[in-house]
Chains A and B, each alone.
Chain A
Amino acid sequence: MVVLALTSVGCDSSSGEAGTQAVTVQFAAKVGTDDFVCGDTYDNLGANDNSLQLSDFRLYVQGVELKNADGDYVAVALTSDANPWQTGDVTLLDFEDGCNDSGTPEMNAVVTGTVPAGTYNGILFRMGVPFELNHENPATAQPPLNGTTMQWNWQGGYKFLRLDSGTFSMTDWRFHLGSTGCDGDPVAGGTTVCDNPNRTDVELASFDPAADTVVADFAALVDGVKLDVNQPETQFGCMAVPTDGDCAQLFDNLGLPFDGSEAGTQQFFSVE
């Protein structure tokens, strides 16, 4: 406790540096017009108006940039010291409160950092973990990349997005998204390339960081998705496996190509 108090004094100085200002980008998880609450059941979802009890809602964002008065995007330098939610230029947004065994009580809905002093309107970011960090050894990774439930070890990376329903039985609908088709090289000792990076680029051209919130809307993500239909012998929902046709509409709604399809326009994120 003493150590914490002392450290805070020393580390929180960035906002005072000349020419920069602190910025907090607020995110929110919603299901249509309702706030996401871990464990709550939501109705009228997807193409067949299904109900789902949602029990996990986490995602990584990277490369957050804000648009300045000149119309240029500038990078937000993340505040990572003593912040377990951020490392490098990655932030874990965690909207679950541990209502499911896979989660934790701690939550995070913000990206914090600094930008050059000025006014901003507009935001760019990418959902995902950068390639270099995505394929490092998760056993030695810094928070928030060291928790085991966002690791996706069989694919050699992380889940960029984790949405679960129910109680994690094999018949509960889930959507886990990360890079797929990754190729490891035993000589180089690591991952060299992934056929499907599956990182969603998002631009919200009108966004005031002082007043607005970036909303990740589950209902918009599953718009048109048949949540009660499962391709035989695949996992319920979508594990981003290129052979699972249940993924196609979800990918389209994220603006990602799937199995050779053209990328659609992302509709998961919006400004409120």
Chain B
Amino acid sequence: MKRILYILIFLLVGAGCGDSAAGSAPEQWVWDLPDTVPEPRIPEDNPMTAAKVDLGRFLFFDRKLSANETQSCGDCHRQELAFTDGLALAEGSTGDILVRGSMSIANAGYAASLTWANEAVVLLEKQALVPMFGEDPVELGMANMEDELLRRMRDDADYPAMFAEAYPEQTDPISLDSITKAIAAFQRQVTSFGSRVDQWQQGDATALNESAQRGMALFFGGTNEAGVEDAFECFHCHGGFLFSQSSDDAGQVFNQKFFMNNGLYNLDENGSYPAGNEGIYEMTGDPADKGRFKPPSLRNIEVTAPYMHDGSIETLEEVLDHYARGGRLIESGPNAGDGKDNPNKNTLLNGFAMTEQEKQDMLAFLRALTDEDLLTNPAYSNPFPE
């Protein structure tokens, strides 16, 4: 059946070809990146185009992508919060509470693996299927409603033309594949490299005050007041242009996925984390993987509270205290235990002495990683009236 339909369509299309736009070459996508930053890896089957990115922006913010039309991707990834939601744990469209917080999508095109602790999902095109169709927990709740989703797109006043423009080579461009590709293309160009730290690194000596500069030195291996070289050890996990070692780009030839245990919990002699939320252990079953999560990018960290995979630390001050101690002590309750002694903890996290001034300097540096343009750029904004 398919073959015959195609022939028919070919005949029809062929007849009208002379005055169509089919002859015009697709425009070259140009990345607007500082020269300190490489281009992201682009899958061969999903080249960047302005029309596709524009379509992806509408889809990302459209509540039609949830079964009950109450939630869009953008409801958990809000621009003003650097595409997070301010919640400790994300909430799905039907009220399911997820076990982890919404991660920022800024620079997600550079992530070596996606979400907090998943070794399998490395492509934005495939990741989009998880919130759309996942059943346990329900996020957007579209499982078994793929036909309804496509119907909503076809019945819309604007989408048919937008899909046609984004996929000019396709005769029937409204498909699940074109949806996930457009959303992925939109996300890939939500880049964030406009912080004061970036400006300073590009030669603007006024971009960072002295406190932030001192904090940066401590972050990148400086000697603290107690006289310990590389006392803070931050950059070993949060280094590179992403401020996360879990980093990929078009020029990488090695898999740089990275997961580590930072001593948040220690429920028993095996280094257990609260059951049901033990990092990549749940995928690998290897007890040494208990508590291993992806170190998130620290870009825009000031506006993405609360912190850690489960939102269990509310402020950056407390995050610094956690690392200064070398792990978190929970004295009582179901999660009691000293994360400092977690057997899976990264060996660099041994704690450090931190004066009040050093703490303020670190905070000044971390806050200088905020990119105001990301939070307000109209190109990344919700196109639908609230």
Contact = CB atoms under 8 A, between A and B. Distances in A.
Interface in A162-188: 168, 170, 180-188
Contacts of B285: 180-181, 195-196, 241-243, 259
A44 interface: no
Contacts of A196: 285
Nearest to B255: A185
A189 B124 CA distance: 10
Contacts of A188: 255
A12 B284 CA distance: 45
A155 B5 contact: no
B276 interface: yes
B234 interface: no
A183 B135 contact: no
Interface in B275-301: 275-276, 278, 281-285
Secondary structure type dominating chain A contacts: loop
A3 B1 contact: yes
B284 A139 contact: no
A191 B275 CA distance: 27
Contacts of B252: 186-187
Interface stretch (B112-120, B151-159, B205-213, B306-314): B112-120
B350 interface: no
A103 B120 contact: no
B144 interface: yes
B341 interface: no
A232 interface: yes
A14 interface: no
A235 B4 CA distance: 47
A148 B143 contact: yes
B329 interface: no
A103 B179 CA distance: 23
Contacts of A180: 283, 285
A6 B4 contact: yes
Nearest to B252: A187
A151 B120 contact: no
A235 to B, nearest CB: 7
Contact of B120 (A139, A183, A242): A183
Q: Interface centre among A102, A148, A149, A182, by most B CB within 10 Å? A: A148
A185 to B, nearest CB: 5
Given A139-B175, A140-B177, A243-B285, A103 B144 contact: yes
Contact of A149 (B135, B175, B281, B284): B135
A71 to B, nearest CB: 39
A233 B111 CA distance: 29
A186 B118 contact: no
Nearest to B176: A139
Given A139-B125, A234-B275, A82 B120 contact: no
Given A148-B146, A156-B121, A186 B255 contact: yes
B93 to A, nearest CB: 15
A170 B132 CA distance: 18
A127 B324 CA distance: 51
B126 A102 contact: no
Given A233-B274, A239-B136, A243-B281, A186 B4 contact: no
Nearest to B180: A139
B122 interface: yes
B383 interface: no
A170 B136 contact: yes
B130 interface: yes
Contacts of B175: 139
B132 to A, nearest CB: 8
A193 B120 CA distance: 9
B333 to A, nearest CB: 15
Nearest to A164: B135
Contact of A232 (B4, B113, B118, B275): B275
B43 interface: yes
A18 interface: no
B138 to A, nearest CB: 9
A242 B287 CA distance: 11
Contacts of B127: 153
A242 B274 CA distance: 16
Contacts of A102: 135, 143-144
A4 interface: yes
B248 interface: yes
A228 to B, nearest CB: 19
A232 B4 CA distance: 55
Contacts of A265: none
B254 interface: yes
Q: Interface centre among B41, B119, B180, by most A CB within 10 Å? A: B119
B125 A153 contact: no
Nearest to A181: B284
Interface in A98-126: 101-104
A128 interface: no
A134 to B, nearest CB: 11
Contacts of B283: 155, 180-182, 241-242
Given A139-B176, A189-B43, A241-B282, A156 B274 contact: no
Given A3-B1, A148-B143, A184 B129 contact: no
Contacts of B125: 137, 139
Contact of A138 (B120, B121, B129, B135): B129
A88 interface: no
B134 interface: yes
Given A104-B144, A156-B126, A184-B257, 19 more contacts: A4-B1, A7-B1, A102-B143, A139-B125, A148-B132, A149-B133, A154-B118, A154-B120, A154-B121, A155-B283, A156-B121, A170-B136, A183-B119, A186-B113, A186-B122, A189-B123, A232-B275, A234-B276, A242-B284
23 contacts: A7-B1, A139-B129, A139-B175, A139-B176, A147-B146, A148-B143, A148-B145, A149-B135, A151-B129, A154-B121, A156-B126, A168-B135, A181-B285, A183-B119, A184-B113, A184-B120, A184-B122, A186-B41, A186-B113, A186-B122, A187-B248, A189-B123, A190-B123
